[in-house]
Amino acid sequence: MEACERSDPIGGRICSRLCSVKHPILLIIVAGIVIRLVLMSASMVYDLDYWAVVIRNIESGEGLYDAEGYYYTPVWGYILGFIAACQSMLLELGEVAVRVLEAFPVEIIPETYYTATAPSIAFIYSVKIPLMIFDLILAYLVMVLAKDYTGDSKKAVLAFAFTFLFPVLMLSSGVIGMPDTIAAVFTILTIVLLRKDMPFLAGASFSLAVLTKFFPVFMIFVFVAYLIAKNRGNPRRGVSQVSMAVAGALLATLIVFAPQIIEGNIEQCFQFIFDRTSTVTGGTMFDSIVSILRIVAYAVVLVLSIYLAMRVVRCKPEALDKSLMKTCLIIAALCLVYPPTTQYMVLIVPFLAFWLTCGDSRYLLSWKIMAIGSIVYVFASNALTIMPLAVWTDLISIDTVVAVFDWFNTTLVGSVSIRSLQFIAGGIVQCIGVVSVFYIMYGDRLRGMRGSAVERTGL
Amino acid sequence: MQPVDTKKCGYAVLAIALCMVVFAGEYFVYYSDTFEYDVDVQWNKDSIDYQVESSGSDVYDAVLLDNNGKASVTELAIYVNESYSKYYDEANETTRIPYNNQDYFASQILIALDNRGFDDGFKCDSSELCEYVRSTLDNPVGCGILVTSYSLPAEIYSGSEDDILIQWIKAGGTLYWTGSVIGEFCVDGDGLHEIQDSQDLFFGKECVYTGSEAVATQVVNNGFTEALSLKTGNLSFGLCLDSIDGALGLGFEGEGVSTIGMVPLGSGFICVFSGEYDIDLIDDMGQVISAGITPETVVMEHHVGTVTRSIESGSFEEYGESSHVYIYIGGTYTKFGEAFYGSM
């Protein structure tokens, strides 16, 4: 708290105000839920439309991969299956989507992912509310870690607030409707379980994190290093714990992939990765360069994560937990420098919230930059996000929505429009937010000052 | 005895609970019978009664159609061109053609058809296609060929009115086409050949939209779009049906071009789906083919309802001798359907 007030008067005032409330966590939960429930009516319809397709395919008996529509590893698909079952058994959704004639032109705007299909408001909420629950679990787990590390309940509440109210998280789950929060939950749960000496469940949890979204895979070396370092005085126990974690991960992986292994089409599960790392058939030279750069970037992250893990192994026991969280923050930031997409950045949310409350309040700057960047970025599709509201309610007309979108999409110079400028600006600001993490972490060293930021605040 | 660490237990319970949500979802996706649908139709003396059943809550559409004596397609051969990649660049130089994976495209169409009760579809390569056309040439009524490639084997089509394929259509066969200008190329042992005036051969005039990307601006006002929940809005390679005798447009239209165009040729007909490969196009193909639409078809009556974990019933009171019923569940995202051809 003091550190918070010292370096950031406004943030400090917010902290003070929050902590003075009798039940601050209740206030944060209510605020976070209310904001999300309002935001949910706005949607990145392209993604929500795909979830409607996936659920249709599941209900048709086509599983996840037989019929076109699902391109990720299976975990999110299974959760959509769970949501589909709940919809089927408990809800009355009616028609889940309609085609909007007036919005057809958005589908042929080059280099964009827009659709003229408007999912129903009921369908949108039925998919996003489960994501909100994962947001809540994520914030709770960060709070648990903060309390464990500092023993300070107020800092724990702040960690909860900075997670649950982080616009990146709210927009990813509440507007875009992406499952990155689930990957973040399983990643943080892995850390909690590793610290509590439950390596088997930690391994299973890590497996589900990676099989939801790919990025946590770069943390594997750090987690193994943590177990080895933690049991340095008892190598046999260390080996046993690593083995248990591997067993848990393998078992969870086997269960997740069982249907695809049986059907012999497991390669379909990794289309998401190949799409983002392979060169596109018929693509331009630019596409090829971007793909190659992406492979190079991930290779660099891989090498750096191994290097960082080796540092964790050499860490002193009293600094081990601190080192684990710090290394995870660095790896998350490394993964997210490019592409700076809001939903991907969810992985950094828990680590950033943890560090800015428990380590160095200067990370609040990164938090703010990412928050602004995500808002600019997500609403680059501006009026289209409220197309479902226009179609399914009388709050606004479709013509107005399309007219506003057209205005934003009017080209200024060449193919540059306000929409594309906003999109690029949002991405750049988010990227700056991620880079600022490195600046705060290593800036002191770069300037030749003594001691790292963390040592200075003395967590 | 050591005291139980309740916090530790709590985290374990949370982890197990979250894992169970994922595994329960997997069970619902692959192993459970949670999602069950059925439709049935009874032909009576004075009415056609239908029933729709769903294990969930879904919209359903029951459509009474009349083909005015024209036979629907009940068997479909989907052409998978094995030389598609080989000549793609060459063909693409003449007309911009969106690349598609032939085998995957065909598989997706078969799935869409199967989910709508049309289970007599199969893939065929060039030699099998030629064999199919020859073997059904005597009576191709009810037979269909679907082409997602830019070319056909020269053995059955080389741009002449005497070609076996043209004769096959005139004898009652149906040619479905999408993704390129119909009949623009054929392939033989010497390679790819461009065919001039191919549109004249099929339609009697140039009517394929080959302009830059454009989308539809209005619904074709004959009831099919709503009745079949048609979706494609992209006009690429669609047909301008103005002044073509007996033609039927479905879906959406813009610049005089329909997203789905049906044109009679002799006793058979040609159906062109505009747009590029995507889920909407696959769904539209599934709907139009499964519903047994022909250029003669009219929508006589269309019922929309909701069925919620129960069985809903309805009936059509007025119908003709060549009427049939198509019922589907799920609306825009159809998950189940079936066409019924029957008599009293």
pLDDT of A24-75, one tens digit each?
A: 899 999 999 999 999 999 988 889 999 999 999 999 999 999 999 999 999 9
State ipTM: 0.93
What is the distance in angstroms between the Cα of A115 and the nearest Cα belonging to chain B? 11
Asked if B102 contacts B80 with a C-beta cutoff of 8 angstroms, the reply is yes
Domain residue spans in chain B? 6-32, 39-69+298-344, 73-295
Asked if B121 contacts B78 with a C-beta cutoff of 8 angstroms, the reply is yes
* pTM of the predicted protein model: 0.90
CA angle A156-A364-A166, nearest 5°? 70
CA distance A169 to A163: 8
- Residue A105: its chain B contacts at CB < 8 A? 215
What is the distance in angstroms between the Cα of B28 and the nearest Cα belonging to chain A? 6
Task: List residues bridging with B77 in a β-sheet.
Answer: B122, B145
Residue A339 has pLDDT above 90, yes or no: no
The shortest CB-CB distance from A252 to any of B19, B21, B335 is to B19
* Of the candidates B274, B217, B333, B56, the residue with the CA atom closest to the CA atom of residue A95: B333
Domain residue spans in chain A? 2-391+414-457
- Supply the pLDDT for residue A9: 59
A vs B: CB pairs below 8 A:
164
CA distance B51 to B315: 9
Average pLDDT of A286-305?
Answer: 82
Average pLDDT of A307-311?
Answer: 92
CA distance A450 to A458: 14
Asked if A118 contacts A317 with a C-beta cutoff of 8 angstroms, the reply is no
Selected residue of B332, B335, B336 to mutate for chain A interface (largest A Cβ count, 10 A): B332
* Of the candidates A345, A354, A367, the residue with the CA atom closest to the CA atom of residue A171: A345
- A64/B112 Cβ within 8 A: no
pLDDT of B147-166, one tens digit each?
A: 999 999 999 999 999 999 99
- A256/B306 Cβ within 8 A: no
Per the rule left: phi > 0, alpha: psi between -120 and 50, beta: everything else, A303 is alpha
- Supply the pLDDT for residue A265: 82
Residue A235 has pLDDT above 90, yes or no: no
- Supply the pLDDT for residue A453: 47
Query: Please, which residues have CB within 8 angstroms of residue A455's CB and are 6 or more apart in sequence?
Result: none
- Supply the pLDDT for residue A19: 59
Selected residue of B29, B31, B39, B332 to mutate for chain A interface (largest A Cβ count, 10 A): B29
Average pLDDT of A332-352?
Answer: 89
Query: Please, which residues have CB within 8 angstroms of residue A303's CB and are 6 or more apart in sequence?
Result: none
- B234/A108 Cβ within 8 A: yes
Asked if B70 contacts B295 with a C-beta cutoff of 8 angstroms, the reply is yes
Average pLDDT, chain A: 87
- Supply the pLDDT for residue A359: 84
| Fold match flag (B39-69+298-344 vs B73-295) | no
Residue A22 has pLDDT above 80, yes or no: no
Q: How many CB atoms lie within 10 A of CB B26?
A: 25
What is the distance in angstroms between the Cα of B303 and the nearest Cα belonging to chain A? 14
pLDDT of A384-412, one tens digit each?
A: 889 999 999 989 999 999 999 888 888 88
CATH homologous superfamily for B39-69+298-344? C2 domain (2.60.40.150)
Token pair recorded at residue A370: 């990412």
CA distance A210 to A213: 5
- Supply the pLDDT for residue A1: 41
CA end-to-end span of chain B, whole Å? 80
- B57/A108 Cβ within 8 A: no
- Supply the pLDDT for residue A11: 56
Residue A365 has pLDDT above 70, yes or no: yes
Query: Please, which residues have CB within 8 angstroms of residue B176's CB and are 6 or more apart in sequence?
Result: B76, B144, B145, B146, B147, B270, B271, B272, B273, B285, B289
Selected residue of A60, A136, A268, A287 to mutate for chain B interface (largest B Cβ count, 10 A): A60
Token pair recorded at residue B179: 């993704």
Q: Locate the chain A residue with the closest alpha carbon to B330.
A: A95
Average pLDDT of A124-138?
Answer: 97
* Of the candidates B162, B163, B171, the residue with the CA atom closest to the CA atom of residue B138: B171
- Residue A62: its chain B contacts at CB < 8 A? 111, 115
What is the distance in angstroms between the Cα of A131 and the nearest Cα belonging to chain B? 13
- Residue B332: its chain A contacts at CB < 8 A? 95-99, 117
CATH of domain B73-295: 3.40.50
SS3 for A250-308 is HHHHHHHHHHHHHHCCHHHHHHHHHHHHCCCCCCCHHHHHHHHHHHHHHHHHHHHHHHH
- A77/B335 Cβ within 8 A: no
Q: pLDDT tens, position by position, for chain B (344 residues)?
A: 566 677 788 999 999 999 999 999 999 999 999 999 999 999 998 899 999 999 999 999 999 999 998 999 999 999 999 999 999 999 999 888 999 999 999 999 999 999 999 999 999 999 999 999 999 999 999 999 999 999 999 999 999 999 999 999 999 999 999 999 999 999 999 999 999 889 999 998 899 998 877 899 999 999 999 999 999 999 999 999 988 999 999 999 998 899 999 999 999 999 999 998 999 999 999 999 999 999 999 999 999 999 999 999 999 998 888 899 999 999 999 999 999 998 64
Query: Please, which residues have CB within 8 angstroms of residue B94's CB and are 6 or more apart in sequence?
Result: B184, B185, B194
